[in-house]
C-alpha cells in the first residue's frame, strides 16, 4: 500500500473544516500487523522492521493483547525523538545505515526509535479507506487506548508506538511547532478519505521554515545550483547550494549576473564577489556547510553583503521567541573556547525542552553573571520590577520569586545572564517531595574518582530496592543521584527515613572514603555524602544548568553506563553537551515517566521492617 502524501503550502488553509498535527521528521512507514507477523513498509516498499528490531520486539510483547484487533494497518512516522514535538532525522539516518546486528542492538538500547501513528487504514481486516479522516482518527485513538499505548509523543516513554493527537486550533499548534523547533504541521480535511499513493490537497504540509539572509558566491554551470554564504569575521562562510523556489525569470537573471561578473572559474563553478543578497528558507542546519532543504524566498535589494553575518545567521537559526531581543551577543563569558553570550543563549535554546520540565512550577534561585567569569556574580531570588509581563512570579518565603514555565521566560532570563538555575525539591502546587537527590561531593576535582566510586556503590544500593535512579554531574567536582518520586505522595519525614538510612549505609560500607561530616575541615580528604541538602527550603542546581565559576561547565545528565575511570567533568562543556544530546538524546528523558512506577513505598516499608539489602 502506497502512502497518501500532503501538498506543500506556505500558508495554512483558509476555508473548510481542518485538523492539524505536528509533522515529525522521520521515515514514513505503513505498519502491517497480522496474527502471525508484522511489517513496516517504507515509501519505496522496503520492510524497515529488520533495521529497527525494537519495534518488532514491542509488537511481539503486545501480540496477545492485540489479537482481537488484528489484522491492523496503521500509518505513521518512524522517528528518533529529540523532544515530544521534534524528531532527530540525522540520527535516524545513521540508524538506518547500520549494517551489523550488534551495532543496531547497541544503538537501540541507548536510544530506541519511536513509531508515531496518525492514521488507521484497516482494523480486523476491514478497510477504513473510505471512512472520513476525523472518524479514522477516533478509531485509531480507541485502538491505542485498548493497547495501552502512549496517547502523546513522549521521549522516554517505554511505549515504542505512540499516538499523534490532532487539534482544530492552528495558532496553538503553530506556537508549539515554533517553540519545539518541529519540522512543521500537517493540515488534514476532517472529511477526507484515504487516497493511496496520491499527493493531495486534502492534506497540506506547512513547514517550520527558518530564514537566512545571505549572498551569492558561485554558480555551477553543469547542474544549475547557486552557492551562498555569509561573512564570518572577514572570511566567507559557506552555507552550501540551492536550486529550488525560483521562477525561470529570476533564475535566468541571477545566472546572467554571475556569468557577466564572475572573477574566477574552477571547472563548471563560476565565482562572484559578494554583491547579490537574498533570503532563503531552510529546514535545519547541522553545523556543517550545507543548509537542509534550502528554498529561495526573495532577492534583498535593501541590504548589503556586510550585513549578512554569521552571527545574525546564528541568532535567526535559534528561533528565539519574538519577545526577546538578544543584546551583546558577542560578549565573551568564559575564556576557554571563547564562549560568547550567543553561544550560551543558543545552548539554553537547545536544552530548553529538557530544562523546562524541571523548572516548571518551582521558585527559582538564580545566579546572575553579567560578565561571565570575568566579573562579580550575585544571587537573585526576587523578580525585578523591570521584568516583562509574561514572567510569572510567586510569593515564597518573603521573596517574590520567578517561576519559569515557558520558553520566553527562560530566554529572557538567559539574556539577563542568569547563568545558574537552582530549584527546590518540590513544586509550588504541592507540599510533597518531588524527588530525592543525593549530592556526592569530593574535596576537589582531583578526587573525582571518589564520586565515581560512590555513585557505583549507591547504584547497587538503589537497585537492591528496585528503585529507578538517574545521575548527573554537578557541573563542578561532584555528581548527583536522583530518585523520582510519585507525585503528591511522600512527605519530608518519610524521605528523611530513606536518605538517613542510605547515608549511614554508605559511610559504614566505606568509612575510609565517605563521610557525612558537614564541616570541610573535619572531612579528612573524604567524599562528603550530602543528604542534608535534601530538605525543605533547600535547592539543587537544575539539570543542564551551566555553572559559572567552573569555567562554564554543565550540570549534565549522563547515562549510568558512562561512569568509569575515564569520566571527567571537564569534558562537559556547552559545546560537548549539545553534541551529546544530538547523538545520544537526554539521559533524563524517562525521569517523569518513571515517577508513578517507582516502588518507593515498598522501599520505606523494607527499611522500617529491617528487611534490607
Span 107-131, pLDDT tens digits = 999 899 999 999 999 999 999 999 9
- Identify whether the C-beta of residue 348 lies closer than 8 Å to the C-beta of residue 404: no
Is the confidence at residue 274, as pLDDT, over 80?
Answer: yes
Q: What are phi and psi of 61, to 5 degrees?
A: -65, -30
- With a pLDDT cut of 90, the percent of the chain lying above it is 95
Is the confidence at residue 76, as pLDDT, over 70?
Answer: yes
**CA–CA separation, 354 and 363 (whole Å):** 18
Q: Please state which of the ranges 244-258, 473-487, 598-612 shows the lowest mean pLDDT.
A: 598-612
Q: At what angle do helices 574-584 and 341-359 cross, to 10 degrees?
A: 50
Question: What's the CATH number for 210-317?
Answer: 2.40.50.140
The predicted structure's pLDDT at residue 612: 61
Is the confidence at residue 613, as pLDDT, over 70?
Answer: no
- Identify whether the C-beta of residue 556 lies closer than 8 Å to the C-beta of residue 572: yes
Q: Return the closest-CA partner of residue 331 out of 552, 599, 65.
A: 552
The pLDDT tens digits for 420-435 are: 999 999 999 999 999 9
The pLDDT tens digits for 548-581 are: 999 899 999 999 999 999 999 999 999 999 999 9
Output DSSP code: residue 571. G
The pLDDT tens digits for 293-312 are: 999 999 999 999 999 999 99
Tell me the average pLDDT across 348-363: 97
The predicted structure's pLDDT at residue 610: 79
Cα–Cα distance list, 259 to 248, 251, 263, 301, 561 (Å): 16, 12, 9, 20, 57
Question: What's the CATH number for 435-572+580-609?
Answer: 3.90.920.10
Neighbours of 150 (CB within 10 A): 18
Is the confidence at residue 512, as pLDDT, over 60?
Answer: yes
Tell me the average pLDDT across 34-38: 94
Tell me the average pLDDT across 15-34: 96
**CA–CA separation, 385 and 391 (whole Å):** 11
The predicted structure's pLDDT at residue 14: 86
In the sheet that holds 184-189, the strands lie side by side as: 5-8, 199-207, 184-189, 18-23
- With a pLDDT cut of 70, the percent of the chain lying above it is 100
Long-range contacts at 194-197 (CB < 8 A, ≥ 24 apart): 194/4, 194/119, 194/121, 194/128, 194/129, 194/130, 194/131, 194/133, 194/136, 195/4, 196/1, 196/2, 196/3, 196/4, 196/129, 197/2, 197/3, 197/4, 197/5
pLDDT band at 596 (very low <50, low <70, confident <90, very high): very high
Helices (H) and strands (E) in the chain, counts: 13, 33
The predicted structure's pLDDT at residue 65: 95
CATH superfamily, with its number, for domain 5-206: DNA ligase/mRNA capping enzyme (3.30.470.30)
Domain range annotation of the chain = 5-206, 210-317, 332-423, 435-572+580-609
So which residues are the catalytic ones? 23
Tell me the average pLDDT across 447-455: 98
Tell me the average pLDDT across 238-265: 96
The predicted structure's pLDDT at residue 287: 85
**CA–CA separation, 308 and 315 (whole Å):** 12
Long-range contacts at 250-257 (CB < 8 A, ≥ 24 apart): 250/296, 250/299, 251/224, 254/216, 254/219, 254/226, 255/219, 255/224
The pLDDT tens digits for 174-206 are: 999 999 999 999 999 999 999 999 999 999 999
The predicted structure's pLDDT at residue 491: 97
Is the confidence at residue 209, as pLDDT, over 70?
Answer: yes
Tell me the average pLDDT across 163-173: 97
The pLDDT tens digits for 370-379 are: 999 999 999 9
| Residue 30 neighbours by CB under 8 Å, 6+ apart | 1, 3, 40, 41, 73, 74, 75, 76, 121
Helix, strand and coil percent figures for the chain, each rounded to 5: 30, 30, 40
pLDDT band at 288 (very low <50, low <70, confident <90, very high): confident
Amino acid at each position: 500500500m502506497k502512502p497518501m502524501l500532503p501538498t506543500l503550502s506556505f500558508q495554512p488553509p483558509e476555508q473548510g473544516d481542518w485538523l492539524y498535527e505536528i509533522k515529525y521528521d522521520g521515515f514514513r512507514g505503513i505498519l502491517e500487523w497480522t496474527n502471525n507477523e508484522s511489517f513496516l513498509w517504507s515509501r519505496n516498499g522496503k520492510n524497515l522492521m529488520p533495521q529497527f528490531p525494537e519495534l518488532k520486539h514491542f509488537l511481539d510483547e503486545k501480540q496477545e493483547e492485540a489479537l482481537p484487533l488484528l489484522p491492523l494497518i496503521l500509518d505513521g512516522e518512524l522517528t528518533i525523538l529529540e523532544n515530544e514535538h521534534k524528531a532527530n532525522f540525522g540520527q535516524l539516518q545513521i540508524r538506518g545505515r547500520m549494517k551489523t546486528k550488534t551495532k543496531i542492538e547497541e544503538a537501540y538500547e541507548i536510544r530506541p526509535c519511536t513509531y508515531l501513528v496518525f492514521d488507521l487504514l484497516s482494523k480486523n481486516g476491514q478497510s477504513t479507506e473510505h471512512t472520513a479522516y476525523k472518524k479514522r482518527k477516533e478509531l485509531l485513538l480507541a485502538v491505542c487506548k485498548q493497547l495501552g499505548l502512549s496517547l502523546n509523543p513522549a521521549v522516554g516513554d517505554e511505549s515504542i508506538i505512540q499516538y499523534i493527537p490532532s487539534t482544530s486550533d492552528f495558532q496553538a499548534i503553530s506556537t508549539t511547532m515554533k517553540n519545539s523547533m518541529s519540522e512543521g504541521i500537517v493540515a488534514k480535511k476532517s472529511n477526507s478519505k484515504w487516497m493511496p499513493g496520491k499527493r493531495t490537497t486534502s492534506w497540506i504540509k506547512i513547514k517550520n521554515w527558518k530564514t537566512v539572509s545571505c549572498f551569492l558566491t558561485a554558480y555551477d554551470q553543469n547542474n544549475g545550483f547557486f552557492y551562498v554564504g555569509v561573512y564570518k569575521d572577514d572570511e566567507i562562510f559557506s552555507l552550501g547550494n540551492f536550486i529550488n523556489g525560483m521562477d525561470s525569470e529570476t533564475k535566468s537573471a541571477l545566472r546572467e549576473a554571475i556569468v557577466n561578473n564572475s572573477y574566477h572559474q574552477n571547472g563548471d563553478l563560476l565565482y562572484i564577489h559578494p554583491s547579490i543578497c537574498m533570503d532563503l528558507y531552510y529546514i535545519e542546519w547541522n553545523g556543517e556547510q550545507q543548509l537542509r532543504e534550502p528554498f529561495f524566498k526573495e532577492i534583498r535589494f535593501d541590504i548589503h553583503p556586510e550585513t549578512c553575518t554569521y552571527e545574525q545567521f546564528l541568532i535567526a537559526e535559534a528561533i528565539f521567541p519574538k519577545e526577546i531581543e538578544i543584546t551583546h551577543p558577542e560578549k565573551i563569558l568564559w575564556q576557554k573556547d571563547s564562549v560568547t553570550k550567543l553561544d550560551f543563549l543558543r545552548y539554553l535554546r537547545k536544552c530548553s525542552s529538557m530544562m523546562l520540565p524541571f523548572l516548571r512550577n518551582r521558585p527559582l534561585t538564580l545566579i546572575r553573571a553579567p560578565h561571565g567569569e570575568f566579573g562579580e556574580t550575585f544571587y537573585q531570588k526576587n523578580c525585578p520590577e523591570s521584568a516583562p509581563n509574561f514572567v510569572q512570579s510567586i510569593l515564597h518565603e518573603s521573596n517574590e520569586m520567578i517561576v519559569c514555565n515557558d520558553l520566553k521566560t527562560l530566554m529572557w532570563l538567559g539574556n539577563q545572564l542568569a547563568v545558574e538555575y537552582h530549584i527546590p525539591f518540590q513544586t509550588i502546587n504541592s507540599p510533597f517531595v518531588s524527588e530525592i537527590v543525593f549530592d556526592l561531593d569530593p574535596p576537589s576535582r582531583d578526587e573525582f574518582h571518589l564520586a565515581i566510586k560512590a555513585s557505583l556503590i549507591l547504584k547497587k544500593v538503589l537497585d537492591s530496592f528496585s528503585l529507578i535512579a538517574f545521575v548527573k554531574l554537578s557541573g563542578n567536582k561532584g555528581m548527583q543521584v536522583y530518585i523520582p518520586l510519585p507525585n503528591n505522595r511522600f512527605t519530608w519525614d518519610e524521605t528523611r527515613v530513606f536518605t538517613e538510612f542510605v547515608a549511614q549505609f554508605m559511610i559504614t560500607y566505606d568509612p575510609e572514603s565517605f563521610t557525612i561530616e558537614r564541616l570541610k575541615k573535619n572531612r579528612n580528604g573524604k567524599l562528603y555524602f550530602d543528604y542534608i541538602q535534601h530538605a525543605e527550603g533547600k535547592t539543587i542546581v537544575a539539570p543542564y544548568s551551566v555553572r559559572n565559576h567552573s569555567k562554564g561547565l554543565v550540570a549534565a545528565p549522563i547515562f549510568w553506563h558512562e561512569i568509569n575511570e575515564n569520566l571527567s567533568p571537564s569534558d562537559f562543556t556547552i559545546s560537548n553537551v549539545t553534541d551529546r544530546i544530538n547523538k545520544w538524546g537526554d539521559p533524563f528523558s524517562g525521569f517523569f515517566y518513571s515517577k508513578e512506577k517507582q516502588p518507593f513505598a515498598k522501599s520505606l516499608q523494607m527499611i522500617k521492617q529491617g528487611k534490607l539489602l
